Chains A and B, each alone.
Chain A
Amino acid sequence: METTTTYVLLGTDGRLTDDPAARDVTPELCRDLYRDMVLARRVDSEAYHLQRQGELGLWLQSLGQEAAQVGSIRAIRDSDPVFPSYRDHAAALCRGIGPEALLAQWRGVRQSGWDPAEHRFGVYTLVLGAQLLHAVGYAMGVQRDGSDDVVLAYFGDGSSSEGEANEAFNWAATVHAPVVFFCQNNQWAISTPTGRQFGAPLHRRAAGFGLATELVDGNDVLGVHAATRRAVEAVRRGGGPALIEATTYRMAGHSTSDDPTRYRTAAELDHWRARDPVDRLRALLDDRGWADGAFLADLDAEADALGAETRRACRALPDPDPTAMFDHVLPGGSPTVDRQRDAYAAYLASFEDAVEEAR
């Protein structure tokens, strides 16, 4: 089978390759990306522990995928709309979505956490692949509005098997939609390895649909950043849709309910631990002397504060009012739902009356 070379800018040895994009790598860029990744990892790890303590119902870790997410979202404009999947916490944090908003859904107090318009970042989509069609439709609107927004849509290797994902690729190519599909190929879809998910690498399949494609080392934040920037700029110039496949690894279980020891080996984990995206950028920072003690100490303190804020915000999230479930069923309201809300409120009140009477 024909092989595609993986685009790498920052090698596993922590050194920049001789790719021309290395010229654009500045100390500030590296420090910024490093900060984003470190902070995201802290929130992720706090959330994991909060789940273990029973404060969250479920958590899906982004551990190991920080470079793919941070590198890509930092390569687009802050105004570019994003359609995420559900593990994209590092990207969400980059869009100013705070811990409270990020955790609400997983604590089970709301169905979603944030206002998509405010953050230009859609709510998480748990039904695999559905968001890719939404991204294409949104991009069609962008076309009609004559805007130069580019839509970024995240998804996983497993999701790429859904019919809807393939409809989205084809559709985008057909209408030349200004969208970049960004696949975090983290090697696993719960227990299913990519080898049982697709017969040809995703970026090759995407090329068949007529998308511009690139395969990038997803644990190389600088490479992801450069590749995404190139792809987005081409799309913005009217070049038509693109797909980036970022090779990365889901370092944690699929979710806090998963037991990955049932299907993957410790050796595999070790292999990827040695390719950790945060360590890799840190090696460059250290090697070049781009991160001094003050920067690192500040970042530590910032991460600690964010960790504390994550714990506080999570525990402070109140249980919703029981009748909240009747809100927002239809924008115009519904007499059926209104009747049920009233009846249920009266029913709940009848218990309180009974308690009163018993006093």
Chain B
Amino acid sequence: MTTTLSRAITTALHHALESDPSVLVMGQDVGALGGVFRVTDGLQKDFGPERVVDTPIAEAGIVGTAIGLAQRGYRPVCEIQFDGFVYPAFNQITSQLAKIHARTAGRITLPVVIRIPVSGGIGAVEHHSESNEAYFAHTAGLRVVTAATPQDAHWLLRQAIESEDPVVFFEPKCRYWSKGEVADEPDLPLDAARVVRPGTDLTLLTWGSMVETCLAAAAAAEEEGHDLEVVDLRSLSPMDVDALTAAVDRTGRAVVVHEAPTFGGLGGEVAATLAERCFDRLEAPVRRVGGFDVPYPAARLEAHYRPDLDRVLDAVDRTLAY
């Protein structure tokens, strides 16, 4: 089935609601409106307001009550309206959701999914374009996942909902309207990276909003005679380090590309992992291309802030020339 990334999420939610009566969808404006991105469009009509719940505007409340519902046997799928509005729920996510399983010596599991539209590229006002995955990946006890294609969006979300673990699920909003195939089966488990383009000269390691940019960069590099591999990490925590190592074993050179600010971003984690695990195989230092270490700028500057094809190729050239 060919569909948009946004629709692939809608159908995943629909499937989950249909197949498991304990699944709930909850968030601001997810009902009649279908969410501000229409991702939950039609779900309340099909499953009613008790299962597709319009919540008060209280992010701590959304996640906090989801934790309680999960303890009572439900599987809440929460929607946070935009990346920049998750912070009121930070305590509930990092100190509660992430830790209760360990604190109770495994007695309590919290199968809660938190969906967050993430990253920029849509010309939005402030707080609507942040790439804040590192905060969550830094917190033990959470899975952090992101999808760049309809296939991954659909199946990763279904796997996330089925998982017993709390999952923070990032949806790159600039990709919501992109189209692709969704197969009848998942082709990878929840925590596996995906080689989206094979190549021999250098590996671009990326995720979310930047996968498309890296594929475009690889296509451009091909014209200059460079054969780039592109790997979509998909699962940011836990990270598929074997897939990363295998990639560098193949190509010997890596550039990490993400939209989040570079300093303290997950690119540093990737680079350090590669330095530890395949120092001998590396032909060049692992370079990072990311957002600048400034607050996400006003919309008219976002094209400068976000890594683009040229900035990726610039890093590729330097890495190949090393």
Contacts and interface: CB of A to CB of B under 8 A. Distances in A.
Interface of A: 57-58, 105-111, 126-128, 158-159, 161-164, 189-192, 196-198, 257, 259, 262-263, 319-320, 322, 324-326, 329, 334, 336-337, 340, 344, 347, 351
Given A126-B125, A347-B314, A336 B293 contact: yes
A161 B65 CA distance: 14
B22 to A, nearest CB: 23
B124 A58 contact: yes
Interface in B5-40: 28-29, 31-34, 36
B61 A326 contact: no
Contacts of B61: 161, 163
B57 A320 contact: no
A320 B293 contact: no
A106 B125 contact: yes
Contacts of B34: 262
A320 B125 contact: no
A1 B295 CA distance: 47
Closest 7 CB pairs of A and B: A108-B299, A191-B33, A161-B56, A325-B297, A263-B32, A158-B57, A322-B304
Contact of A196 (B56, B124, B301): B56
A42 B41 CA distance: 35
Given A58-B124, A192-B29, A340 B293 contact: yes
A108 B123 contact: yes
Contacts of A164: 88
17 contacts: A57-B123, A105-B298, A108-B300, A109-B300, A127-B88, A161-B58, A163-B88, A192-B57, A197-B56, A198-B56, A259-B33, A325-B294, A325-B297, A329-B293, A336-B263, A337-B292, A337-B294
Nearest to B305: A325
B268 interface: no
B84 to A, nearest CB: 7
Given A108-B298, A108-B299, A262-B34, A57 B125 contact: yes
Interface in B87-132: 87-88, 123-127
Given A162-B57, A262-B32, 6 more contacts: A109-B298, A161-B61, A163-B58, A340-B293, A344-B292, A351-B310
Of residues A110, A192, A198, A319, which shows the largest number of chain B Cβ atoms within 10 Å of its Cβ? A192
Nearest to B91: A163
Contacts of A259: 33
A156 B115 CA distance: 25
Interface string B117-150: 0000001111100000000000000000000000
A343 to B, nearest CB: 10
B74 interface: no
Nearest to B297: A325
A262 B59 CA distance: 23
Nearest to B123: A57
Contacts, number: 113
Interface in B277-315: 292-295, 297-301, 304-305, 310-311, 314
Contacts of A324: 297, 301
A57 B58 CA distance: 26
B54 interface: yes
A190 B57 CA distance: 10
A65 B218 CA distance: 52
B33 to A, nearest CB: 4
B299 A57 contact: yes
A116 B17 CA distance: 48
B32 A58 contact: no
B47 interface: no
Contact of A126 (B36, B59, B126): B126
A198 B61 CA distance: 13
A33 to B, nearest CB: 30
A141 B51 CA distance: 46
B36 A257 contact: yes
A127 B85 contact: yes
Contacts of B298: 105, 108-111, 320, 325
A348 to B, nearest CB: 8
A263 B33 contact: yes
B241 interface: no
B178 to A, nearest CB: 19
B123 A190 contact: no
- The winner among B54, B60, B295 for most chain A CB atoms within 10 A is B54
Nearest to B299: A108
Listed residue (B32, B36, B54, B300) with the most chain A CB atoms within 10 angstroms of its CB: B300
Nearest to A189: B57
Contacts of B310: 351
Contact of A190 (B36, B87, B88): B36
Contacts of B58: 161-163
A159 B125 contact: no
Nearest to A159: B57
Contacts of A347: 311, 314
Nearest to A317: B300
Given A162-B58, A197-B56, A198-B56, A191 B295 contact: no
A256 to B, nearest CB: 11
Contacts of A197: 56-57
B33 A190 contact: yes
